[in-house]
Amino acid sequence: MAITIKNPNEISKMRDAGHVVSVCHQQVEAAIAPGVTTGDLDEIVRDVIAGMGATSNFYGHHGFPGYICASVNDEIVHGIPGERRLESGDIISVDIGAIVDGFHGDSAWTYAVGDVSDETQRLLRDTEDALYAGISAALAGRRIGAIGSAVESVARPLGYGIVEGYGGHGIGREMWEEPHIPNLGSPDSGPMMRPGMTLAIEPMLNLGDHETKVLADNWTVVTADGSRSAHFEHTVVITDGEPEILTRRLVAVVE
């Protein structure tokens, strides 16, 4: 499938879908605490999506049984929410998507549970930095490879394992559209970015090696060496200037 350019009306719908995803993250972040289960977070997101008149793009996708992907500690992506109870010192990557009027939003964030180690705090901060470096490189007239190159330029000098088998993607009428967006590589690789392209940018960085494996549930992707992993993702639209973040985090307004 070719890369699609969205018109202003379609981008408006993606902004609405992104807003639903942002509200979900706000509610999840407020709920995360030691003792909460990943299934509790899944129910919160199910209810927010329904309450805002949106639908889930995760639930039932190839049979996925959750409204979120909940990936704890050494789990990278596609963790199944359930009975697991969060403990202080854990990290949890929560990946959330929603559909409004047929258009998709997709955003992941890694949250600390209670008190986490300095090393883990750095992992979260650096992976978030890598996300924003990637977003800053998402400019019309540059190639898709500029995004991964920018992510790699943050992650590589700090010694993180950069996950290669999974990455960003086009998004719009489908959750996964062309092109694939690697989190490393040459800035001169891949298709040219143009205004109206909508992309999910999502670095995944490991404290250890980059190698991954899939658990027996056939969903959960973990680091092969058991090291911790972080995952930060936004859906953006390429413009004539800076990219617009469609799933931008909500900030409390202080009057």
Residues interacting with Mg ion, by CB under 5 A? Answer: 95, 106, 108, 200, 233
d(CA 8, CA 244): 13
Q: What residues have CB less than 8 Å from 14, skipping those under 6 apart?
A: 6, 100, 103, 104, 105, 171, 172, 198, 235, 237, 246
Instruction: Point out which residues pair with 161 in neighbouring strands.
Output: 206
Instruction: Output 225 or 248, the one with its CB closest to Mg ion.
Output: 248
**Relative orientation angle of helices 8-31 and 38-51, to the nearest 10 degrees:** 140
CB of 177 to Mg ion, least distance (A): 11
d(CA 136, CA 104): 22
CB of 118 to Mg ion, least distance (A): 27
Q: How many CB atoms lie within 10 A of CB 52?
A: 16
| Residue 249 near residue 22 (C-beta atoms within 8 A) | yes
Instruction: Output 13 or 231, the one with its CB closest to Mg ion.
Output: 231
CB of 107 to Mg ion, least distance (A): 6
Instruction: Output 58 or 160, the one with its CB closest to Mg ion.
Output: 58
Q: How many CB atoms lie within 10 A of CB 122?
A: 14
- Report how far apart, in Å, the C-alpha atoms of 25 and of each of 20, 33, 165, 215 are: 9, 14, 25, 26
CB of 96 to Mg ion, least distance (A): 7
Read off the amino acid at residue 108: A
Instruction: Output 40 or 95, the one with its CB closest to Mg ion.
Output: 95
CB of 60 to Mg ion, least distance (A): 16
Instruction: Output 62 or 119, the one with its CB closest to Mg ion.
Output: 62
Q: What's the chain's length in residues?
A: 255
Instruction: Output 108 or 135, the one with its CB closest to Mg ion.
Output: 108
SS3 52: coil
CB of 85 to Mg ion, least distance (A): 24
Instruction: Output 110 or 227, the one with its CB closest to Mg ion.
Output: 110
CB of 198 to Mg ion, least distance (A): 12
